Amino acid sequence: MIIKRLFSLVFAFTWLLASAEPGASENLYKYRDAKGVIHLTNIQSDNRFRPVFKRTAPPLFTKKSRRWKIDRAIEKASRKHSLDSALIRAVVRAESNFNPYAVSYAGAQGLMQLMPETADYLDVINPFDIEENIYAGAKYLKQQLNHFDGDVALSVAAYNAGRSAVIRHGGIPPYKQTKTYVKKVLAFYNGYKKISRSY
C-alpha cells in the first residue's frame, strides 16, 4: 500500500512538471494531510500549501534569452554595416553554431570566431560579448565584401582563410577546410534568405 501510494505521488509530481509551462515549476505547492498524503497543486489555494521550490533569480542568460540577444545584435549589425542579416546569421551558425563562448583549436573566439589579431585590429575588448563580437565580425565581413566587389563566396573565403590567401590564389583557396566552409555558409545563407522572404 505504501509503495502504491509512493508510486502515485511520483507519477503525479512528474506529470505536473511535464505538463507545466516553462518556469511553472517555481509555482508548484504541496500539502501533507493528517493521513500523510501529499497533495500537489500549481495554485496556492490556502495557507496549508507551501512552495515545493524556492524562487530564485533567473539565470542571466537562458537559451531563449541568449538567442534573442544574438538575433537582436545581428539585426543591429546588419543596419550598422549595411549588411544582409541572413549572411551574418549564416556566418555565426557556421563559425560557432550560436555559442558566444566558442573557442576553436586555433584560438578563434566567440560567435563569429575572431582570431586574437583580428579582434585587436577591430578594437574588440571582450570577444565573448555578444554584441561586440557580432558588430566586429560583421564589420570585418563587410570589409571583405567591399574589397571583392560584393562577391559573397570570395568574401566568405577571405573571412575564413584571409584576404591575402584569396588574392594569392585568384579565387577561393584550394584548402579543403575553406572550400567546405564556403559551401556551408552559402547553404545557410540561402536558407535564411528563403525564411526571411516567407515573412
Specify whether 42 is located in the same domain as 132: no
The predicted-structure confidence for 118-131, as pLDDT tens digits, reads as follows 999 999 999 999 99
| Mean pLDDT in residue range 178-188 | 98
Give the position of cell 584548402: 175
Total domain count, the chain: 2
- Residue 103 phi/psi, 5° resolution? -135, 125
Q: Which residue has the cell 540561402?
A: 190
Report residue 115 as a C-alpha cell. Answer: 582570431
Active site residues: 95
- Say whether both 76 and 132 belong to one domain: yes
Give the pLDDT of residue 5. Answer: 44
3-class secondary-structure state, position 129: coil
| 67 plus 29 within the same structural domain | no
Reading the block at residue 113, the C-alpha cell is 570566431
177 vs 175: CA distance, rounded Å: 5
Report pLDDT digits (tens) over 81-104.
999 999 999 999 999 999 999 999
Computed over every residue of the chain, the mean pLDDT equals 82
User: Does 57 reside within a domain?
Assistant: no
Give the domain range for residue 16.
Answer: 2-51
pLDDT at 44: 63
Render pLDDT for 63-83 as a digit per residue (tens, 0 to 9): 568 889 999 999 999 999 999
For residue 25 the three cell numbers come to 515549476
18 lies in the same domain as 109: no
- Phi and psi torsions of 100, nearest 5°: -70, -10
